[in-house]
Structure 1
Amino acid sequence: MCDACEQSLASNTKRSSAQYATLATGLFPMQQNLRNRKPQVDMTQDLHRVPGSRPPLEIARVMDAEQQFSGRRPLGDRMRSALRTLSDEVNWLWCDPPTQAYAVAAPRRGGIDLELVADPTNLSAGIELLDLVCDRMPTGRLWTHGDKSSGRTAAEANGLEKERELWLMSRDLTDPITVPQPPAGFRFRLFRPGIDDISWLELNRKAFESLPDQGSWTAADLQTRLTADWYDPNGFFVADYDGQLAGFHWTKMETSGSTTTPATGEVFLIATAEEYRGSGISEPLLLAGLEYLQRQGAHQAHLFVDSSNSRAASFYAKSGFEHRDSDRCFGWKR
């Protein structure tokens, strides 16, 4: 271990050296001053390996416990995918004993993106783990999922500043949905992979210019979603105006895995090009996707919208969506 890390370990008396050794072992190869060391916790072949470490099997129990408590899945799509793939972009972190709290980190320019899950009966474990991560990485941001998430509890306990809030809004899909005809000159069609990619990426960039996580998508990012196991080519609608891409509505079905719990649908991405806003295309484009989700068996649909985007939130509210919960992004710089 580097001299700086040794000094940090020696100066902090709140936690054992074994806890820090495990954290440093699970910590990022992106932090070049930490040597690769064998993790001092039991490994499992049941979860795929990611560089630096792989999470103990116990993480499945902790994730399930938090989901039962909060009503939300504790990790986002990107991090959950890392549990199923050999992705080399994330690393898992935990403290001894490896039964209470876990974090997953991905590098980004100038810091890390972090998500956290903790046993709801021992939220202090998540608070302490986040404290350790912030101590090791001077700059980063933590995404949390839900008002009752362990990540939010840990962020607020550590005094992190909230940078963004995404509202989770949902509406019922049990009543019949009538899709209005698009305004004159517009037509709806399906996205054409390999043909619409460039124009879609450009529209996505402009539409989400203020949200760099979404607006910075590359062709590779798009391809990753187009090849995901959830992708449905019949649920990706675009609005065409005289051969130009005027808008899109990308839907997503989420199955519960239960025969008794109805499936839900998601407005995964939706946008209208600036020059066509006010044309009347947004409502039929939204309803076209919702009607498709309904035909696929969804009884409810949800979406995420930035809390600061009052125009979009108002539009969704008028379309029957209600604010149910929130995801938050907390940042630190020390």
Structure 2
Amino acid sequence: MVVQLTWRNGLDGKEAAEVMNLLAVAERADGVAPCGEHVVMRLKAHRDVVHQIEPVQADVRSEHFVVRDSDGALVGYAHVDTEHESSAGQLVAELAVHPEHRRRGVGARLVEALLDRADLAAEPAESTGRLLVWSHGEHPGALRLAERYGFARPRELWRMGMAVADRELPEVELPAGVRIRPFRPGADERAVVRVNHRAFSWHPEQGGMTEEDLRAKEGEDWFDAAGFLLAVDADDRLLGFHWTKVHPDGTGEVYVVGVDPDTQGNGLGRSLTVAGLRHLRDTGCRQVMLYVEADNVPATTVYQRLGFERWDTDVQFAR
């Protein structure tokens, strides 16, 4: 199969729609999305044409590699997140290959293009940490490519899940003077971003959330302020939050649980988690999932005690 790979710093509406369709086809075939939510958010984000040099869907933090066959059909795609390139020298990539065109060199072509973009040799070599590539669901094809090109495996995310429809959940036990209320769009963004930054200052993705990012997600179809639970003190000062999400198939998600470090140690994180689980169950979710760093033993222990089990693993490979 003859393939043509091109680099883009932005996609026009037609090509972005083709990429979204490719991601959807791959997800149906594999049972897991090939790219994370932030990639989809960037593909959806449009800038007004008058603010661009060319009429493309551009994002200064994104680059795109597009692979087409000899008939012009889209058969492969890679997204490159360049947000931390200037500060940490890192590129973070995610890729997808059309299920009908796998084992034909498309994935290898994309990986070699990513290595070249990162100024790394195609031959296996000691990892520099400059290029990070996610494999969602630990896809067998990704494992083969990682071994072929000498990628290390420095990070894993567990996807854990549990049935909640008929489960007896613990009671919500809040510290004295603390109550839980729903998020108020237009009023709570600044406080949530502040606590999120303090709670996840160590986290390479979550810790960088901005008010603009938060407001963009408020515009998503799945956003529900009633399921965005805030723990506040008597003065309505935000102490922590549990942001829940419901997927199109009805599966609930412990989307983000964040607690201000100044209030940790009093069980607020567990209480917020339980409150969110109860909310998701009461709104009709039969099962709930979450993502957690595999090496975060305190967190995985809490979730296991609540009844969560590991479903699958996302792996971040590095060169």
Question: Structure 2-normalised TM-score?
Answer: 0.79
* 1:252 lines up with 2:258 in the alignment: no
Corresponding residue for residue 177 of structure 2: 185
The 1:158/1:239 distance shift into structure 2, 3 A limit, reads same
2:213 alignment partner, one of 221, 236, 239: 221
Structure 2 residue identity aligned to 1:207: A
SS at match of 2:21: helix
SS at match of 2:176: coil
How much has 1:214 moved relative to structure 2? 0.9
Count residues in correspondence: 286
Give unpaired runs (5+ residues) of structure 1.
1-15, 30-47, 257-262
* Counterpart-to-counterpart distance in 2, 1:104 and 1:153: 20
* Counterpart-to-counterpart distance in 2, 1:288 and 1:322: 19
Corresponding residue for residue 135 of structure 1: 116
SS at match of 1:212: coil
1:95 alignment partner, one of 67, 71, 86: 67
RMSD (CA atoms): 2.7
Contact 1:120 1:150 in 2 (8 A): no
Contact 2:136 2:313 in 1 (8 A): yes
Give unpaired runs (5+ residues) of structure 2.
47-56, 120-129
Corresponding residue for residue 123 of structure 2: none
Contact 1:266 1:301 in 2 (8 A): yes
How much has 1:71 moved relative to structure 2? 1.9
* 1:71 lines up with 2:46 in the alignment: no
How much has 1:271 moved relative to structure 2? 1.8
* Counterpart-to-counterpart distance in 1, 2:136 and 2:117: 23
2:91 alignment partner, one of 103, 109, 112: 112
Q: Which has the larger radius of gyration?
A: 1
* Counterpart-to-counterpart distance in 2, 1:149 and 1:82: 27
* Counterpart-to-counterpart distance in 1, 2:28 and 2:281: 26
1:172 alignment partner, one of 163, 169, 187: 163
The 1:313/1:130 distance shift into structure 2, 3 A limit, reads same
Contact 1:127 1:155 in 2 (8 A): no
Corresponding residue for residue 51 of structure 2: none
* Counterpart-to-counterpart distance in 1, 2:142 and 2:15: 20
The 1:183/1:103 distance shift into structure 2, 3 A limit, reads same
* 1:54 lines up with 2:15 in the alignment: yes
* Counterpart-to-counterpart distance in 1, 2:21 and 2:188: 39
* Counterpart-to-counterpart distance in 1, 2:141 and 2:245: 26
2:309 alignment partner, one of 318, 322, 325: 322
Equivalent residue runs for 1:39-50 within 5 Å? 49=12
Contact 1:267 1:302 in 2 (8 A): yes
Contact 1:62 1:99 in 2 (8 A): no
